[in-house]
Structure 1
Amino acid sequence: MAEEEEEDAAPPPPPPAGIYAEERGLFQLLQNMLEELLIHKPDDPIEFMINHLKQNNDDAPRICVLGPPASGKTTVAMWLCKHFNAIRVSQETLLFKEVLMQTEEAKAYKERNQATVAALTPKPRAGSLRSLGQCHWIWKIPNALWANLIQERLSNVDCIKQGWILEGFPENQEQAWMLQSSGIFPRHVVMLYAPDTVLIERSGGKRLDPLTQEVFHTTFDWPSDPLVQQRLVKPEDLSEQEVSKKLLEYHRNFPDIFHIYQKVLKSINADQPSVDVLSKVLAFVQTRHRSAAPFTPRILFLGPPGSGKSLQAALIAQKYDVINLCCGQLLKEAVADNTKLGELIKPYIDSGCPVPDKLVLKLLTARLSALDCLSKGWVLSGFPRDVEQGKQLQKAQINPNRVFFFHLPHESIMERLSQRRTDPVTGERYHITFRPAPTPEIQARLRQNPRDEEENIEKRLDIYYSNVKALEDFYQDAFYVNADQDPYVIFEFIESCIIKPLPYKKH
C-alpha cells in the first residue's frame, strides 16, 4: 500500500522523445536542412548545417507576389513587408535602390538601349516617372542577369534572417527555372487576377509616390495627405495600348508559371476591396504546407452539452486509429474496475458531486501516458471544463496539438438534449424528432434521463458559458466548429484542420 501511495504521489514522467521533437519543430528543421543540402550540395555538409542553424531562418517568409499589370502587386508586397518585417525585392528596387555586383552590368544595358528607347518613345511630360530615369529599358535586361541580381540580393543577411517578398518575378517559365537552378524556392506564390477591362481602367488612374514607392489611384485609393498628392506622378508607360500588350504577354506566360508553382500557389481575385484582398493573402501566406515529418494527433474537443463532441471523437478515432477518451467515461471505468483511484472517485460519482480536479488529473495523466496513447495519439472530450483545469493539464505536460471549440445555438442544444429518450428494456437511445421509437409499445416505455430535463440543461450550460471565454483565451490556436450542420460536414472540417500544419503567425 505504501508503495502504491508513493507511486501516486510521483511526478509525471518526462514527455517522450517524439512529443519533445514535435513541440520544438525538430522534424521540420531536419527536413528543411536536408532540402537545403540537396539543393546546394555543399562540400562541407556539417559546416553548412551549422551556418543554417545560426541563421535561424526557417520561419522567415519566402513569398512571390505575381499578377498582371495594375493588379495590385506593389500594394500587396509592401503591405506584406510591413506585416512580416521582410525585405521587398522588385525590379525597381534591384536597379535603383541596391548596390549589387551585377547592378553595373544591368545599367550597362540601359546605356546601350537608351537611344533606342528614346527614339521609340514620345517625349515625357514634366513630373512623370520617366523623368526619374525609369523607363522601358528595364524590361530589356536578359533573364539570366535578372536571376543573378535576385540571387545576389536574396543571399544577403537581411533577406536570410527577415525573409523576402519578391514582387513581379518570375514573369515567364525561363525566369522561374533560373530561380530554381539558383536554389530559390518560394514557400508561397500569390497570383493576383482581375478582368482585363478592370486592369486597363485601373492603369489609367494609377499614380506613384516616388519617395515611398507606394501606389495610389485617382478613383479607388487617393491619399488624404496634400503633400503626398502633390508629389504623385503618373507612370508614362501605362497607356491603354501598352497595358493591353503587357496583358497579352502575361496571359501567354501565366500557364507555364502556374504549372511550375501549382503546389505552393494560390490565385486571389484582386477585383475587390483592398482590405479583402490583403486578408485573403495573409490567410494564405500564414499556412504551412504538409510535410513528411511524423505527427501524432493529440486532439481536444471542447463545447457545450449536446454539441456533438462524442460523435466527432468516435469518427476521428475510427478513421485515424487514435484512442478515444471521454473524461466522464474514464471516471466510470475507474469506479467499475475497483482500482485504488476508483475507490476515491466512487463517492463523488454516487452522490452526483464533481470529482476533484486532483483525482481527475491523476486518472488522465496515467491514461494518456499509456503506450497506446503515446504511439497512436488521442482525442479527449469532457476536460478541461475551466481554465484552471487547462493549466493543470499543461503543468502535467499534457499538451494537445489540436484544440476545437464547438459552437451551437441555445435553441439547437435544447432541442437535441431535452427530446432524448432511453428504452429501459433494451438500453436503446431515441430522439422524439430525429429518431422516434419505431412502435407505440416502445414509445410508451421510454424514459428521460434527469440530466436532460430543461432545468438541468440550463444549469450545465450556465457553467459552460461562464468558463468558455477564459478557455478560448487560453487555447489561442484553437479552431472553431459550427456544430449546427450535418455531422459529416463537421467531420470533414475537423479532419482538414488535423492533417494540415498549424498556420504560421507573427509573434
Structure 2
Amino acid sequence: MKIPDALWAELIVERLQIEDCIHSGWIMEAIPQSRELARELLAMGIIPKHVVVLFAPDIVLIERNLGKRVDVSTGEVYHTTFDWPTEDYIRQRLKVPHGISEVETARRILKYHQDYPGILQSFGSCMKLINADQPCADVFAQVFTHVQAPPRTLAPFSPRILLCGPPGSGKSMQASLLSRKYGIINVCCGQLLKEAVADETKLGELIKPYFDSGWPVADNIVVKMLSERLNRLDCHIRGWVLHGFPRDEDQAKLMQRANINPNRVFFLHITPESILERLCYRMLDPVTGERYHTLYQPAASKEASERLLIHPRDLEEAVKLKVDAYLRIAEGLETVFEDAIFINGDQDPQTVFEYIESYIVNPRPTTLGFPLQMA
C-alpha cells in the first residue's frame, strides 16, 4: 500500500524540526521521488539549498545494481566489481539482495524517468546535474564543490526578512518601505492576530480569549499562525518581511523549530531617549483618525491640534516599561541569530532603509564570524 504524499511530507517535516537538523543541517537521499511529494515539501516550507542529481546511462545503472551483494550478518553492501571483500569468511556470507534482477531494475529506472521531469521543475533553480559514470572520488569532489558554493539567491525578489528591535525603532516603517518598493509581503504579527479574531477563523477562536483577558497570546498559537501565513504561495514567490515576533530567545527558538528561517535578520538599535521622543509625542485625531506627532508632524490647524488625544500605551510610564522589558531580553534574542546585521535605527528612516536595502540586494560580505554592524 502506497503511503500518501501528504503523510510523507508531514513525517519529513517533523524529523527536520528536531534540534539536530536545525543546528547541524540535513541531507535527504532519494527524497522526493515524485513531483507531488516535491510540491508538498515546498508548500510546507522545506526548501533545500542544494539539490544534486546523479545520472548515468541505463546500462551502467543496471550493471551496478546486478553486482550488489549484502552481508547477511552486518547488513554491509558490497559489489562484485567495485568493492569485493578480501576476507573469505565475509564472501561466504554475501547474498544477492531482493529486487535487483535486471527486470526489476529496468522497471525502477523506467519509473524514475517518468517522475524525474516533475522533480526537475520543482527544484530546477538549485539543482546540479553530475555524471555518476566516473570514479567515485571524482563524483564526490564535484558534489562537494557544489555544496560548498553559496546557494543561489533570488533576493531582493524572494527574501525572507526579519526585523527586530525595541518599540519605536522603526520596524513597521521599514517593513512598509520594503513592501512598497519590492512587493515583499509585509507580515505584522500583531495585525495577523487581529485579523484572525475579526475573521473568526479557528485560530482566531483560540486567540480571542487572550485578547479579552489582556494576556499575551500563547507562543505556540502565534507560531502556528505565522507558519500558515508564511507558507502561502505569495510569500514563497514574492518573499516576506516579518516584524513583531519573536520578542525573546524562547520565541526565536520556537520559530526555528517550526522551520521559519529568515535569510536576513536585522536588529535596529536606538537609545531609550530617542524611543521616548518618538512614542510619547504621538497623537491621534478622534474625528478624522489621522495620526500626528507633536515634534515631527504637528496638526495643520489649531482646531485639530486642540482635539488630539494620546493613546494610553504611549504614556511615558508605559513606554519605559516596554523598553526596559525589551532591554532585559535583547541579548538573549540576539544570540539566536548568529548572522544578524545590526543597524543604528536612530537615523533618518530613508538612511536606515538604504542600509537594509544594501544587505538584501547585495551578497553578504565575509565577516570572519563577527556580527555585522552599521553606523
Q: Aligned match of 1:302 in 160, 164, 172? A: 164
Partner of 2:91: none
Give the distance between the partners of 1:361 and 1:355, measured in 2 at CA: 10
- After superposition, the C-alpha distances for 1:384-424 in whole angstroms (9 at most, x for unaligned) are 01111111111111111110000011111000000000001
Q: Aligned match of 1:423 in 282, 285, 288? A: 285
Give the distance between the partners of 2:145 and 2:309, measured in 1 at CA: 62
Question: What SS class does the counterpart of residue 16 from structure 1 fall into?
Answer: helix
Q: 1:354 to 1:20 in 2, by over 3 A?
A: closer
Q: 1:47 to 1:307 in 2, by over 3 A?
A: same
Asked whether 1:320 is paired with 2:182, we answer: yes
Question: What SS class does the counterpart of residue 388 from structure 1 fall into?
Answer: helix
Asked whether 1:399 is paired with 2:261, we answer: yes
Match of 2:251, as an amino acid? Q
Partner of 2:252: 390
Partner of 2:222: 360
Partner of 2:326: 464
1:501 Cα shift? Answer: 2.6
1:465 Cα shift? Answer: 0.9
Partner of 1:16: 42
Q: 1:30 to 1:325 in 2, by over 3 A?
A: closer
Q: 1:45 to 1:358 in 2, by over 3 A?
A: closer
TM-score, normalisation: structure 1: 0.47
Give the distance between the partners of 2:254 and 2:50, measured in 1 at CA: 21
Runs of 4 or more, structure 1, over 6 Å off, are: 10-14, 25-31
Give the distance between the partners of 2:136 and 2:332, measured in 1 at CA: 42
Does the 8 Å contact 1:29/1:58 carry over to 2?
Answer: no
Match of 1:51, as an amino acid? D
1:293 Cα shift? Answer: 4.6
Q: Aligned match of 2:138 in 48, 51, 58? A: 51
Partner of 2:235: 373
Question: What SS class does the counterpart of residue 167 from structure 2 fall into?
Answer: coil
Partner of 2:302: 440
Question: What SS class does the counterpart of residue 481 from structure 1 fall into?
Answer: strand
Match of 1:304, as an amino acid? P
Partner of 1:483: 345
Does the 8 Å contact 2:126/2:152 carry over to 1?
Answer: no
1:294 Cα shift? Answer: 3.6
TM-score, normalisation: structure 2: 0.62
Does the 8 Å contact 2:266/2:341 carry over to 1?
Answer: yes
Give the distance between the partners of 2:192 and 2:153, measured in 1 at CA: 32
Cα RMSD of the aligned pairs, angstroms, is 3.3
- After superposition, the C-alpha distances for 1:55-110 in whole angstroms (9 at most, x for unaligned) are 6346889xxxxxxxxxxxxxxxxxxxxxxxxxxxxxxxxxxxxxxxxxxxxxxxxx
Question: What SS class does the counterpart of residue 260 from structure 2 fall into?
Answer: coil
Does the 8 Å contact 1:335/1:342 carry over to 2?
Answer: yes
Does the 8 Å contact 2:165/2:268 carry over to 1?
Answer: yes
Q: 1:319 to 1:404 in 2, by over 3 A?
A: same
Q: 1:387 to 1:293 in 2, by over 3 A?
A: closer
- Percent identity among equivalent residues? 48
Give the distance between the partners of 2:133 and 2:309, measured in 1 at CA: 71
Question: What SS class does the counterpart of residue 262 from structure 2 fall into?
Answer: coil
Matches within 5 A, 1:10-89: 15-16=41-42, 20-21=46-47, 23-24=49-50, 47=134, 51=138, 53-54=140-141, 56-57=144-145
Does the 8 Å contact 1:15/1:397 carry over to 2?
Answer: no
Q: Which runs of 5+ in 2 are unaligned?
A: 1-9, 15-39, 53-122, 370-375
Q: 1:293 to 1:457 in 2, by over 3 A?
A: closer
1:340 Cα shift? Answer: 2.1
1:48 Cα shift? Answer: 9.2
Give the distance between the partners of 2:133 and 2:363, measured in 1 at CA: 28
Match of 1:364, as an amino acid? L
1:49 Cα shift? Answer: 11
Q: Which runs of 5+ in 1 are unaligned?
A: 1-9, 38-43, 62-287
Question: What SS class does the counterpart of residue 242 from structure 2 fall into?
Answer: strand
Give the distance between the partners of 1:60 and 1:329, measured in 2 at CA: 39
Match of 1:54, as an amino acid? A
Give the distance between the partners of 1:412 and 1:25, measured in 2 at CA: 47
Q: 1:482 to 1:48 in 2, by over 3 A?
A: farther
1:489 Cα shift? Answer: 1.1
Give the distance between the partners of 1:292 and 1:333, measured in 2 at CA: 35
Between structure 1 and structure 2, the one with the greater Rg is 1
- After superposition, the C-alpha distances for 1:272-302 in whole angstroms (9 at most, x for unaligned) are xxxxxxxxxxxxxxxx7xx865452111000
Give the distance between the partners of 1:344 and 1:438, measured in 2 at CA: 43
1:25 Cα shift? Answer: 8.0
- After superposition, the C-alpha distances for 1:189-216 in whole angstroms (9 at most, x for unaligned) are xxxxxxxxxxxxxxxxxxxxxxxxxxxx
Partner of 2:335: 473
